[in-house]
Structure 1
Amino acid sequence: MTATQTVQTDVYPTRTGGVERVIDREDPTLYGTADDGPMDAETLSGYDRNGYLAIDELISADDVTELKAELRRLSEDETVRRDERTIVEASSDEVRSIFEIHKVSDVFAKIANDPRVVGRAKQLLGSDVYIHQSRVNFKPGFEGKEFMWHSDFETWHAEDGLPNMRTVSISISLTDNYSYNGPLMIMPGSHKKFVSCAQETPEDNYRKSLIMQGAGTPEKATLSEFGDTYGIDVLDGEAGGAIMFDCNCMHASNGNVTPYPRSNVFLVFNSVENTPVEPFAAPSPRPEFAGARDFTPAG
Structure 2
Amino acid sequence: MTTQTPASPTAPQTAETARRDLYPTRVTTSAGTIAREHPTVWGTEADGPFDAAALAAHAERGFTVLEEVLTADEVVAYRQELTRLTTTPAVVADERTVTEQSSGEVRSVFEVQRLSPAIDALSRDPRILGRARQLLGSDVYLHQTRVNYMPGFKGTGFSWHSDFETWHAEDGMPIPRAVSCSIALTDNYPFNGGLMVMPGSHRTFVPSLGETPADNYRSSLKEQKAGVPSEEDISELAHRLGIEQFTGPAGSALWFDANIMHGSGNNITPFPRSNIFFVFNSVENALDEPFGASGHRPSYVAARDATPLR
TM-score by length of 1: 0.97
What residue number does 2:148 align with? 137
The answer to whether the 8 Å contact 2:180/2:258 transfers is: yes
2:169 pairs with one of 146, 152, 158 = 158
The answer to whether the 8 Å contact 2:170/2:292 transfers is: yes
What residue number does 2:215 align with? 204
- Cα drift, residue 273 of structure 1: 0.3
What residue number does 2:229 align with? 218
Structure 1 letter corresponding to 2:297 = R
User: CA separation in 1, counterparts of 2:158 and 2:305?
Assistant: 27
User: CA separation in 1, counterparts of 2:295 and 2:29?
Assistant: 21
User: CA separation in 1, counterparts of 2:112 and 2:28?
Assistant: 34
1:279 aligns with 2:290: yes
What residue number does 1:23 align with? 34
Structure 1 letter corresponding to 2:294 = P
- Cα drift, residue 6 of structure 1: 9.2
Change (3 A) 1:179 1:27: same
Change (3 A) 1:34 1:287: same
Structure 2 letter corresponding to 1:272 = V
Structure 1 letter corresponding to 2:172 = G
1:46 pairs with one of 49, 57, 65 = 57
What residue number does 1:259 align with? 270
SS of alignment partner, residue 21 of structure 1:
coil
Cα offsets for 1:130-173 (capped at 9, x unmatched): 00000000001101101110000000000000001100000000
What residue number does 1:58 align with? 69
The answer to whether the 8 Å contact 1:6/1:278 transfers is: no
- Cα drift, residue 93 of structure 1: 1.3
What residue number does 2:7 align with? none
User: CA separation in 2, counterparts of 1:270 and 1:21?
Assistant: 27
SS of alignment partner, residue 273 of structure 1:
helix
What residue number does 2:132 align with? 121
User: CA separation in 1, counterparts of 2:60 and 2:201?
Assistant: 10
User: CA separation in 1, counterparts of 2:189 and 2:292?
Assistant: 37
Of structures 1 and 2, the one with the larger relative CO (CA 8 A, separation 6+) is: 1
- Cα drift, residue 21 of structure 1: 2.4
What residue number does 1:231 align with? 242
User: CA separation in 2, counterparts of 1:181 and 1:274?
Assistant: 35
Structure 1 letter corresponding to 2:136 = L
TM-score by length of 2: 0.93
Cα offsets for 1:86-131 (capped at 9, x unmatched): 0001111111100000111112111111111000000000000000
Number of matched residues? 296
1:79 aligns with 2:83: no
For the aligned residues, what is the CA RMSD? 1.3
